[in-house]
Amino acid sequence: MAQLAFQDIDFIAKKVANSRMFPSWSGRESDAAVAILFGQSLGLNWGYSLTNIMVVNGRPTVWGDAMLALCRSSSIFESCYEVFDKETMTASCTVKRKGEEPQTRTFSKEDAITAKLWGKNVWLTYPERMLQMRARAFALRDVFPDILQGLGCTEEVMDYPEQGETKSAPLAIEQSQEKSINFERLRLNTFKGFEMVGISFQDICRHYEKQLIEDFTEQEVNDLIETGKAIRAGEIKASEAFPAVHREPVETLQENRSSELLNDEV
């Protein structure tokens, strides 16, 4: 991947901070630039960096999908095979590094119960996905430590116990003092969970007429959690929970975005 020059990163960061396409980075030009730089050092392009890099408990992390993408992009990566046993509720991830034997790591419901994770927020709504991310993180970190260089998996690190005054937050989101750390973690897990079933953050924002993630109230987040459970259980469809009337056509969004960019440049 070609490395961006500092002036190019600065230009992109300014555009992103003044754009509505990346609502979490609104008005955060410096943070966006640092995220792009950090992602570039890992081999991620600027767009992937802005949507996947998080700071949790003071530690840079990436979502599980990005962690796998990082390893896959390396010449020493050979394969990754994931399996989920519904009878035992156990996720397994087998990865192979070129020139070495494959290694397997597992994470089960029993492991989650022991770690006091089972039944908590997103674990209750998306248990299979969370078990899969734990097994994947263990396998990739053990087999490719030179690639990941201590980088954490967001889904995993979010569940670590809080350390003193350390806060858990995405790099692009400024937390209000009055909001608890647990509520911030709950909101992040909630929105990521909806992405897993094809509902974007922008869809949710349009439905609730919000601009930023911090604009959502605790009650609205709780409502979203219940909606997610109902969608997963097949009780309602996503289209029923978020009717098309709340969504602008893609063409309209693109036209609005083009107008905004022109106004910014003027």
pLDDT value for 104: 97
Three-state SS letters, the chain: CCCCCHHHHHHHHHHHHCCCCCHHHCCCHHHHHHHHHHHHHHCCCHHHHHHHEEEECCEEEECHHHHHHHHHCCCCEEEEEEEEECCCCEEEEEEEECCCCCEEEEEEHHHHHHCCCCCCHHHHHCHHHHHHHHHHHHHHHHHCHHHHCCCEEHHHHCCCCCCCCCCEECCCCCCCCCCCHHHHHHHHHHHHHHHHCCCCHHHHHHHHCCCCHHHCCHHHHHHHHHHHHHHHCCCCCHHHHCCHHHCCCHHHHHHHHHHHHHHHHC
Chunk the chain into consecutive blocks of 10 residues (it has 266) and report each block's average pLDDT, rounded to whole numbers. 83 88 81 87 84 77 85 93 94 96 95 88 82 93 88 80 46 38 53 66 72 68 76 75 51 42 43
Looking at residue 177, what is its pLDDT?
32
Q: What is the model's pLDDT at position 66?
A: 85
* Domain-wise residue ranges, the chain: 6-246
What's the confidence (pLDDT) of residue 27? 83
Decide: pTM greater than 0.75.
no
